[in-house]
Amino acid sequence: DFFDSGHTNNWAVLVDTSRFWFNYRHVANVLSMYRSVKRLGIPDSHIIMMLADDMACNPRNPRPASVYNNANQQINVYGDDVEVDYRGYEVTVENFIRVMTGRLPESTPRSKRLLSDDRSNILVYMTGHGGDGFLKFQDAEEISNVEMGDAFEQMWQKRRYHEVLYIIDTCQAESMFQTFYSPNIIGIASSKVGEDSLSHHVDPAIGVYIIDRYTYFALEFLESVTPDSKKTLGQFLRVCPKYQCRSTVAVRTDLFQRDPEKVLLTDFFGSVRNVEITMETLSLGNETTNPQMSNQVCRSVNMSDCF
């Protein structure tokens, strides 16, 4: 029962599908989530971030090179160490599906690939403008819930994930995971079908809404989580009740094999490595009996005191 979660590595795919200044909050949503997963241990090499617009460099930004998610401007979520993998017009439906399914051109660098396997737990977070059964990408195209469901099925068939936590913060967000049919996926939506997902507050200095309600309260919960925290996914599912969100948070758990109340939140938001200590001596095998060969090996790793 030591490795009861069944996964050995964690990935995060964070996607903002909106551009233009008045959608500042969607960029802040993704950057805030990025900050949280990095703080809990997922490295940049295991994070794919897509930002459809660069608010930090927008000429309307009164504080260049900064993006804030609260009116007090206490935390610059853009920071100095943000690695954006797909930005601007690279954020398309085609690129998103190619990243998820691994169907990228051979020239694509490793930093822009989702190199997950059948022991990977993947957090997928998406935010933008949507409707009943679709999510818009940059007001130019849209991805349907059927396409999204088929992408996850391709991933399952290709053994690209162990478990997936899918979070979407958009209007009528529940519709995006209603067509999922692949196993080991749990979905959280900021609004039910027929409901709008609302913003939280305006920063007068910036002049636009700077974060959405569900993401704001989800991040407030995540701030209390540490890498060794025992808080569960079940607790996270109850974040942002209707009196806070003004919309009804929808959850889908029928495809998920484990009880969310017994799943650590860090199974998706963190990257804690389980270590098992053994007192037994392990033989590595293929040991050489040639002293000259052994000396060559020692010199190759700068170990002058081998013998």
Q: Which of 7, 26, 46, 129 is catalytic?
A: 129
Find the mean pLDDT for residues 263-274. Answer: 85
Inside any domain, residue 301: no
Comparing C-alpha atoms, which of 246, 261, 249, 101 is closest to residue 188? 249
Tell me what the mean pLDDT of segment 16-27 comes to. Answer: 93
Q: At residue 289, does pLDDT exceed 70?
A: no
79-83, 167-171, 206-210, 278-282: range with lowest mean pLDDT: 278-282
226: domain CATH number? 3.40.50.1460
Q: Is 171 a catalytic residue?
A: yes
| The predicted structure's pLDDT at residue 274 | 63
Q: What is the mean pLDDT of the chain?
A: 88
Q: Rounded to 5 degrees, what are φ and ψ at 208?
A: -140, 165
* 57 inside domain: yes
Residues 237, 215: Cα–Cα separation, whole Å: 12
Q: 101-122: per-residue pLDDT in tens? A: 999 999 999 999 999 999 999 9
Residue 279's pLDDT band (cuts 50, 70, 90): confident
Q: Which of 7, 46, 171, 240 is catalytic?
A: 171
Sign, CA dihedral 182-264-167-124, equals negative
In this predicted structure, the answer to whether residue 210 has a pLDDT above a threshold of 50 is yes
Q: What is the pLDDT of residues 28-38, one digit of tens each?
A: 999 999 999 99
User: Which carries the bigger pLDDT value, residue 284 or residue 143?
Assistant: 143
Q: How much helix, strand and coil, in percent to the nearest 5, is found in the chain?
A: 30, 20, 50
* Count of structural domains within the chain: 1
Looking at the domain assignment, is residue 277 inside a domain? no
* Beta strand spans in 114-184 (E): 120-127, 130-131, 134-137, 141-144, 163-169
Please indicate, yes or no, if residue 289 is contained in any of the structural domains.
no
Distance of CA 194 to the CA centre of its chain: 26
Q: What percent of the chain has pLDDT over 90?
A: 71
Q: Is residue 147 part of a domain?
A: yes
Residue 298 — very low, low, confident or very high, per pLDDT cuts 50/70/90?
A: very low
Sheet holding 47-51, edge to edge: 86-87, 47-51, 9-16, 120-127, 163-169, 185-189, 250-252
User: Looking at residues 175-192, what average pLDDT do you find?
Assistant: 96
Q: How far, in Å, are 59, 134, 151, 165, 296 from residue 127 at the CA level?
A: 23, 12, 18, 14, 55
Q: Is 222 domain-assigned?
A: yes
Judge whether 214 lies within some domain. Answer: yes
Using CA atoms in the order 238, 242, 246, 247, what is the torsion angle rounded to 10 degrees?
70
Q: How confident is the model at residue 267 (pLDDT cuts 50, 70, 90)?
A: very high
Range of the domain at 70: 13-269
Does 285 map to a domain?
no
The number of beta carbons lying within 10 Å of the beta carbon of residue 199 is 18
